[in-house]
Amino acid sequence: VIYDRADSCVTQVTPDQINWDVLLDTRLVHMTGITPALSAECRATTEAILERAKAAGVPISFDVNYRAKLWSLGEAADWIKRSVHDVDLFLCGQGDAKRLFGIDGTPEAIVDALAELSGARAVAVTLGEAGVIGWDGSTYYQETALPVRVIDRMGAGDALAVGVLHGWLMGEFAFGLRCGVTLAALALSQHGDAVITSPDELVALLEATHIIGTVQR
């Protein structure tokens, strides 16, 4: 898969082109580390979004999502540590935590270090085949990955993040982690990087994969 982003329209966007009333009329602003890596304009716009959302009291989630082809480890680590702070939800892969920030150890230790680094109120760390661990400010939760025949790995990380955000927006962070591993398994078991489903289908998947003896016909 080739993402040909260079000189695309989005790489030229500037903060003064954003309709802030529309953008901030939302329950959550979600950003990833891909956008600020695309261009200087995208970096300035991402910083403006984070600042304005915080000033407006709009919850913010940030997924590190490091891409080595877009910027160096040093650039990414410096920008994230400088620009992403006091967010409501911080998501990061175990590998990115080690590569970018030198954070390693037990899953709980990684969560603690990322919480300190970001000042986030909640943290979710993906652990590859081991699943995901989350912390909501007081309690650790962990969900193991579901066994699945891998068809295509593209989109699994984003699918997991979507599940976490879904639960978090419902006020049920632990449930979000369970949704995350379920949607990740769905992404791995199909071609393409976009999972198209519905809340009802997700509930059916949860019942089929997490409750022994449940049969869906």
Active site residues: 158
- Return the closest-CA partner of residue 84 out of 49, 127, 113, 108: 49
Dist. CA 95–CA 103, nearest whole Å: 9
- In the chain the first and final C-alpha atoms are separated, in Å, by 36
What 8-state DSSP symbol labels residue 144?
Answer: P
The crossing angle, in degrees rounded to 10, of helices 73-83 and 40-56 is 20
- Return the closest-CA partner of residue 79 out of 118, 135, 105: 118
Query: Are the CB atoms for 107 and 134 separated by under 8 Å?
Result: no
Dist. CA 3–CA 166, nearest whole Å: 27
